[in-house]
Structure 1
Amino acid sequence: MTADSVHSEEFQRGFLLGVLVGEGHFGGDGRQPQVTLRMHTDHETLFRWIEDAFPGGKLYGPYHHSGRSYFQWMARGAFLREQLLPLLDAYLRPELDRKSFGRYRDMKARYGL
């Protein structure tokens, strides 16, 4: 893999999709939908890459409590609707990960997306 391929839009989309399937949460706060990614501060470099590659999301943290240290990235509002949902609609399939697909489908139904 070359440095150019890591910066390609196709790679960025696929990598984010993989991270969200493995570690993300598809839900909301009762008023608005959100996709949340929470991981240990050891993954700060990954969060900074996500911030750079997908600048519509919001990074919070680091948080330190109860013996845990983590960052939390959230996709909400226009960024979620206009950029992230089309990506997830195009590529997230039940045959890739049934549990994540179900949570995503439930989030969309709950919030009328």
Structure 2
Amino acid sequence: MTASSFLPQLSAFDQGLLLGILIGEGHFGGDGKQPQVTLRMHTRHQKLFATLMRLFPAARLYGPYEHGGRSYYQWMARGALLREQLVPLLDALPLAEIDEHAASRYQEMKTRYGL
């Protein structure tokens, strides 16, 4: 089975939603051992997180957390989800054409972790 066979069937709207939210709020990094894409936002965005979990059920949603007077959720994509679904999907979308800064952070993560 190829990595592309694991790609979720996302509508054009869902692809745009994912790309936009990751450009605006996403973090492309890792813990030193494995790469991860993280999205941390206020709990008032609970429905958005529910949508992301519907689109990517293998992701992890943590929270709600209370810290420093802020209430937030944290969505994380790592492991097989990141390697087999999210990376091929992001590689197929025009990230660099839309936001060079986000694209460079994404490429740095891929380089650092050999993706």
Fold match (TM-score > 0.5): yes
Higher relative contact order (CA 8 A, sep 6+): 2
Supply the distance in 2 between the matched residues of 1:92 and 1:28 (Cα, whole angstroms). Answer: 23
| Superposition map of 1:7-18 within 5 A | 9-18=11-20
Which residue among 92, 100, 108 is the counterpart of 1:90? Answer: 92
Supply the distance in 1 between the matched residues of 2:18 and 2:63 (Cα, whole angstroms). Answer: 19
Cα distance, 1:46 vs. partner?
0.4
Match of 2:6 in 1: none
Aligned CA-pair RMSD = 1.1
Match of 2:4 in 1: none
Q: Deviations over 1:19-48 (max 9, x none)?
A: 111100000000000000000011011001
Match of 2:70 in 1: 68
Q: Percent identity?
A: 63
Task: Provide runs of 4+ in structure 1 moved above 4 Å.
Answer: none
Number of aligned positions between the proteins:
106
The answer for unaligned runs of 5 or more in structure 2 is 1-9
* Aligned partner letter, 1:80: L
Q: Deviations over 1:69-113 (max 9, x none)?
A: 100000000000010001110114322101100000000000011
